[in-house]
Amino acid sequence: MIDEIEKIPNSLVMRDELNFKYYVSGTWKKSSSGNTIIIKNPFNDETVGTVQACSIEEADQVITVAKENLECWGDKTQRERADILMKAAKLMKEWANSLGYVMMKEIGKPLKSAISEITRTSELFEATAEAGLQQEGEAIYGDAFKGFSKDKMSMTYRVPLGVILCIGPFNYPFNLTGSKIAPALMAGNTVVVKPPSQGAISPLFFGLILEKAGVPPGVFNIITGKGSEIGDYLVQHPLINMVSFTGSSKTGQHLASVVGMKPLLLELGGKDAAIVLNDANLELTADAIVSGAFSYSGQRCTAVKRVLPMPGIADKLIELVKKKTMNLSIGDPEKNATIGPLISSEQCDFVQGLIDDALKKDGTLLCGNKREGNIMWPTLIDNVTTDMRIAWEEPFGPILPFIRTHSAEEAIEISNKSEYGLQGMIFTENIDLAFNIAQELEVGTVQINGKSERGPDHFPFLGTKSSGLGTQGIKYSIEAMTRPKVIALNLSEKGKLVKLCKYD
Ligand code: NAP
């Protein structure tokens, strides 16, 4: 691990060996609490490194610094900010292999996926710089409203919100943090990042990257520490002007209850259902289901989490999905096994509880239900009924239930009964019917003949119900992190031109 990190120039400033510091005012510091959080590799339980467990006082200092540097960042031209994001993107690409390696170690993500998460983030930075330069405002005459004339006119443009607090989850620690940092900075905000504790090391490198790219000290800051200890203090701090959060629905619902009167963007959990109609292309469908359900061992918000097949194809589809699932590689993330460790042994226990409940209630086990350390074998359960927990709860692990349905109407009803509403999928050759079903599904996005997924990053991405609040996606995130500013011009008589109307 240390060999990989040493390939990144100047990384010694941010660490003593593998003990990482936090980043404020352009300097790397140790917490005066003397406390650290040990990050263990979920695959083999080896210590990957430590990060600082910062105190409430340090959280206050970090936020104050971000507030003090708002003006300095706002003075930069949009073009300058875009150039900085472009430089940051270039550095990410250069360091992608080493950063991906670090991420693989700390969260057990397959190495190739971890590296592509870094390059995807660099592309997101580039696209955000481009989109930020396209921002526009509008001017409106008053005379469209009764009683007003052209002498009153509004000019509307967008201004940054201020200090944006960015909190991300463990499963995409670099990309989901980056997808908040880039629009926040591009729009002229300053930033405080609180990374997930398990997955804190890779996002710490944003400090090095952005400093080298030209972000002035204090504009971008990172504080580490347990969400349960400093989270509430951070989100409620009066100098935080917006909270952009991605994580579980449980934490999101808690934040919604404590944040108070400030903009809050929540991207939360999901229970994405794949409705498979009788005329679906089953090869394509099975490939999408297996890759959607089991990439990164199912630890994705948009993983396929339920399959609702129609009677005409259910047996054939389930057989195909089983065959493809049995071929998945299982083991070491460094060797790119698709199925690797879950993030913690507690998470494995939770997933096992879902399996046990389904089997106790007469679900049919097709494969899996085996565990070694934190690795859980991909598990398929057929004949799942709506009294089973797995029909409704988000497992965040490699387990996929089949709920056999008799009609599109029944599938829509089961899909919509979920407390979640992130994405839905319809597999069919009948695009007219797919379009009509799509309109009924209470989710942010419906995928027709494709697996649920977040990208490409310029698409709007959102959840309804317990899946979220507000919309991410490059231009949508810039919009969420800015507000309209209106200047109304009231023209007086003294500048009036004398015009003769030809009809007078
Ligand atoms: P989590 O437990 O909710 O943690 C997410 C983040 O919140 C972490 O940084 C955590 O810090 C922090 N946190 C915890 N308590 C907090 C508090 N009181 N105040 C402020 N921050 C607090 O979620 P996770 O287990 O990391 O991620 C998995 C979940 O995220 C799944 O439900 C998944 O569906 C969802 N997710 C959603 C999307 C989406 O875009 N919709 C994308 C990816 C993941 P600590 O790590 O220090 O506890």
Per-residue pLDDT tens over the stretch 96-141: 999 999 999 999 999 999 999 999 999 999 999 999 999 999 999 9
C-alpha span between 359 and 364 (Å, rounded): 7
Residue 75 alpha carbon to ligand 1 centre in Å: 33
Query: In the predicted model, is pLDDT for residue 501 greater than 80?
Result: no
Q: What was the pLDDT predicted at 498?
A: 85
Region 146-156: mean pLDDT is 97
Residue 484's SS3 state is strand
The per-residue pLDDT for range 408-423, each reduced to its tens digit, is 999 999 999 999 999 9
- Residue 277: CB partners within 8 Å, gap ≥ 6? 310, 313, 408, 426, 427, 428, 430, 433, 434
The per-residue pLDDT for range 183-221, each reduced to its tens digit, is 999 999 999 999 999 999 999 999 999 999 999 999 999
Cβ(28) – ligand 1 distance below 6 Å: no
Query: In the predicted model, is pLDDT for residue 455 greater than 90?
Result: no
Q: What was the pLDDT predicted at 165?
A: 98
22 close to 223: Cβ distance less than 8 angstroms: yes
212 close to 91: Cβ distance less than 8 angstroms: yes
pTM exceeds 0.95, yes or no:
yes
Region 445-455: mean pLDDT is 96
Residue 155 alpha carbon to ligand 1 centre in Å: 39
Q: Which atom of ligand 1 is nearest to the CA of 267?
A: 41
269 close to 418: Cβ distance less than 8 angstroms: no
Q: If you take atom 30 of ligand 1, which residue's CA is the nearest one?
A: 247
Cβ(272) – ligand 1 distance below 6 Å: no
Cβ(199) – ligand 1 distance below 6 Å: no
The pLDDT mean for the chain works out to 97
Q: Which of 106, 301, 348, 393 is catalytic?
A: 301
Nearest to 466 by CA among 417, 410, 426: 417
Q: If you take atom 39 of ligand 1, which residue's CA is the nearest one?
A: 267
Q: What was the pLDDT predicted at 464?
A: 98
The per-residue pLDDT for range 198-207, each reduced to its tens digit, is 999 999 999 9
Q: If you take atom 14 of ligand 1, which residue's CA is the nearest one?
A: 227
Q: What was the pLDDT predicted at 322?
A: 98
3-state percent breakdown (helix, strand, coil) of the chain, nearest 5: 40, 20, 35
Q: What was the pLDDT predicted at 504?
A: 60
Q: How confident is the model at residue 499 (pLDDT cuts 50, 70, 90)?
A: confident
301 carries an active-site annotation: yes
Cβ(227) – ligand 1 distance below 6 Å: yes
Cβ(248) – ligand 1 distance below 6 Å: yes
Q: What was the pLDDT predicted at 292?
A: 98
Mean pLDDT check: name the lowest of 317-326, 364-373, 489-498: 489-498
Cβ(380) – ligand 1 distance below 6 Å: no
Residue 250 alpha carbon to ligand 1 centre in Å: 9
The radius of gyration computed from the CA coordinates of the chain, to the nearest angstrom, equals: 25
267 carries an active-site annotation: yes
